[in-house]
């Protein structure tokens, strides 16, 4: 769908007479990110999955500032309007979780309940933000130098060696995950990192205490960094629940899909 400054590639699965979940993928993900979870959830909900700016087949038609979190969030609200979706559930992973938190805090009237997987509110200290921007630019320069598919594959294998991902590289379906990531354009990923990375996104820490939407924070047991971040998030936001998922690092929905789905079903059920 073409909206002002964006041509979104999205998939609307199911009928709108069922509760709808908006899924937002992480950095280097795409519209297929949550396919395995959706297969297990299928009969109970309808689903909207989207290639976020810089990813998959979505095209940014305006300038580079349209990759930012603020502009992307407004564009997603416009997309919901075009699709006549007044309210929905939201599930966001990592980068998509950061974006999901921004949407929740700025457009609370649009969301029923929110699940954030391995997400953060950004960085509150200026020195931390500047250091993260510097790091992201180093990563971005590596992305812009990628020429061949094998170059990109080598970059991805190195990326998933980071401690937050635990043992994901040895997962039996890791080749499938890498293949999905290879569908992205490295130069577009660089723009996403440059304009919607953790260092340049607005800090949301100070807004957490004002949140009124029921929220579930999911983190993997091997992801110590995000356990710490989300523990603090739960303290600040009185109505946020924290759940640590076993046998998973940063990417819970890939490493422990069954537990991920069980938590979605329980939290989004009318009785919860």
Interval 8-66: pLDDT, tens: 999 999 988 899 999 999 999 999 999 999 999 988 899 999 999 999 999 999 899 99
Question: Which fold is adopted by the domain 2-122+203-268?
Answer: Rossmann fold (3.40.50)
Pairwise CA distance, residues 176 & 132, whole Å: 29
Residue 271's pLDDT band, with cuts at 50, 70 and 90, is: confident
- Cβ atoms of 121 and 101 within 8 Å: the answer is yes
Pairwise CA distance, residues 42 & 33, whole Å: 15
Contacts of 149 (CB under 8 A, 6+ apart): 182
224-263 confidence digits (pLDDT tens): 999 999 999 999 998 999 999 999 999 999 999 999 999 9
128-141 confidence digits (pLDDT tens): 999 999 999 999 99
Tokens of 167: 């043992």
pTM of the predicted model as reported, rounded to 2 decimal places: 0.97
Which H helix or E strand runs over 141?
Answer: helix 126-144
DSSP SS3 for 239: coil
């Amino acid at each position: 769908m073409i909206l002002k400054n964006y041509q979104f590639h999205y998939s609307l699965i199911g009928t709108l007479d069922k509760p709808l979940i908006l899924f937002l993928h992480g950095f280097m993900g795409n519209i297929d990110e949550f396919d395995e979870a959706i297969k297990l959830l299928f009969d109970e909900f309808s689903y909207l999955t989207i290639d976020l700016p810089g990813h998959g087949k979505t095209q940014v038609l305006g300038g580079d500032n349209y990759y930012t979190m603020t502009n992307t969030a407004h564009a997603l609200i416009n997309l919901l309007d075009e699709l006549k979706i007044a309210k929905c559930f939201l599930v966001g992973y990592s980068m998509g979780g950061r974006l999901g938190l921004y949407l929740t805090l700025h457009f609370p009237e649009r969301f029923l309940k929110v699940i954030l997987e391995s997400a953060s509110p950004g960085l509150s200290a200026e020195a931390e933000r500047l250091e993260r921007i510097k790091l992201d630019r180093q990563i971005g320069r590596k992305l812009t130098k990628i020429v061949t598919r094998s170059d990109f594959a080598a970059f991805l294998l190195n990326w998933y060696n980071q401690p937050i991902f635990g043992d994901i590289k040895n997962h039996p379906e890791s080749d499938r995950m890498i293949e999905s990531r290879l569908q992205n354009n490295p130069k577009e990923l660089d723009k996403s990192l440059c304009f919607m990375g953790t260092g340049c996104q607005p800090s949301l820490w100070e807004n957490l205490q004002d949140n009124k939407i029921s929220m579930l924070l999911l983190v993997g047991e091997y992801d110590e960094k995000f356990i710490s971040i989300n523990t603090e998030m739960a303290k600040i936001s009185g109505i946020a629940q924290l759940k640590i998922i076993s046998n998973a690092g940063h990417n819970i929905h890939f490493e422990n899909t069954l537990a991920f789905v069980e938590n979605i079903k329980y939290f989004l059920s009318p009785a919860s």
